[in-house]
Amino acid sequence: MSIGHRAKAPGTVTAVLVAAALSFSLTACGGGDGEDDADEKGNAAVSTPADIAESGRPGDDGGSAAPEAPQVLATIKGGNGFQFTVHSAVRDDGGFLTLAGVVQNVSGKRQAPPVQWNGQEKQVKVTGRSLAGITLVDKAGKKRYYVLRDTDGYPLTTTGLSAFEAGRSVDFFAQFPAPPEDTDSVDVQIPLMPSATIEIS
C-alpha cells in the first residue's frame, strides 16, 4: 500500500502545480494592463497638483486666497525711532471707542518707550510704561478724549511696555469715551509724535 501511495504522489504534485500556474495566469491577465486597478485604488484618495490647479482649490471654499492685509487708518512716525500704525477705531456697544494697531521700533537699535507716553497722572505711572498719554481730539466738537480708567484708576490701554529691540513690534489698544454719533473722524495725538486724522467705524 505504501508503494501505491508513492506512485500517485507525482500526479498530485503535478495537479497542484498546474492549478497554481493557472491561478497566477488569471491574476496577471484579469487586470488587463494594470491601469484600471491603479485608477480604482489611487484616484479616490489622491489628488495630484494638476487636479488641485484644475479645481482651483486645495480647500473647500473654492480658492486659496491669501489673508487680507489689515486696514491702515494712519501711520504715525516720529523722530524718536518709533512708528504707530493704527488699524481700527471702533465704537463699542457700551459707548466706548477702541483704538487698535501696532507700535514698532524702526530706529535700528534697542530703545525704551518714552515716559511721556504714560501720561502725567500719578495713578497711571504705577502701571509702568504704557500708552495712557494718548488722546483723541474731536475738532468739530472741540473736545479732547482721554484714555479711560477702570474702577481702580488703571488706564484701559496697553501697559507694561518694556524696551524694544530693533525692529520689534507690539500690538496696542487704547479705549476712550466714544464721540457723538455724528462725529466720523478724530485726531490721534501721541506724545512726541505728530498727530494724525483717522476715520471712526
Q: Is 99 within 8 Å of 116 (Cβ atoms)?
A: no
Q: Considering the entire predicted model, what is its pTM?
A: 0.65
What residues form DSSP beta bridges with 91?
97
CA-to-CA separations, 97 to 88, 151, 159, 176, 185, in angstroms, rounded: 10, 18, 18, 5, 12
Cell triple for 32:
488587463
Q: Is 132 within 8 Å of 190 (Cβ atoms)?
A: no
> Tens digit of pLDDT for each residue in 147-186?
999 888 889 999 989 999 999 999 999 999 999 999 999 9
String of DSSP letters for 54-81? HHT-SSTTS--PPPPPPP-SEEEE-TTS
Cell triple for 67:
489673508
pLDDT of residue 152: 84
> Tens digit of pLDDT for each residue in 113-146?
999 999 877 766 677 789 999 999 999 889 999 9
